[in-house]
Amino acid sequence: MPEQLSLPEIVTHALEDLKGQDLVKLNVKDLTDVMDVLIIATGTSNRHVKSLAENVVEEAKSHSIRPIGVEGKDTGEWVLVDFGEVVVHLMLQATRDFYELEKLWSTEPSTRHKQS
């Protein structure tokens, strides 16, 4: 019998399969009641970002897990896939650099602010 994967593992495998870049998984359980894990990855083009999102959704569905919602697939600049306890952000590099979600969701408050 195959090993049962957790949702973050399923998402990670789906992103790695399509060469998602700079994959980051953040445990935000202590920071918010909205989700437990935030997964961020970069795509090389709008098409790549869309493909990453589609692969995450399809891989999760193959494990009988359906997303609550998917936003941003029209443009492919930033796609959010919401599974409830796990939220996946897939972005172009310029978008990721601009919004700096890793810094925003850092568990270390001092790293949330740029030093002057």
β 37-43/86-92 pair status: parallel
Chain centroid, CA 78 distance in Å: 10
Percent of the chain scored above 90 by pLDDT?
Answer: 77
Q: Residue 1 pLDDT more than 50?
A: no
Residue 104 has a pLDDT of: 83
43-94: pLDDT as tens digits: 999 999 999 999 999 999 999 999 999 999 999 999 999 999 999 999 999 9
Domains of the chain: residue spans and CATH: 7-100 (3.30.460.10)
Residue 94 has a pLDDT of: 96
Out of 5-9, 64-68, 87-91, 106-110, pick the least confident.
106-110
Residue 78 has a pLDDT of: 97
Residue 116 has a pLDDT of: 44
2 vs 99, residue with greater confidence: 99
> d(Cα 43, Cα 92) in Å, to the nearest integer?
5
> d(Cα 101, Cα 111) in Å, to the nearest integer?
12
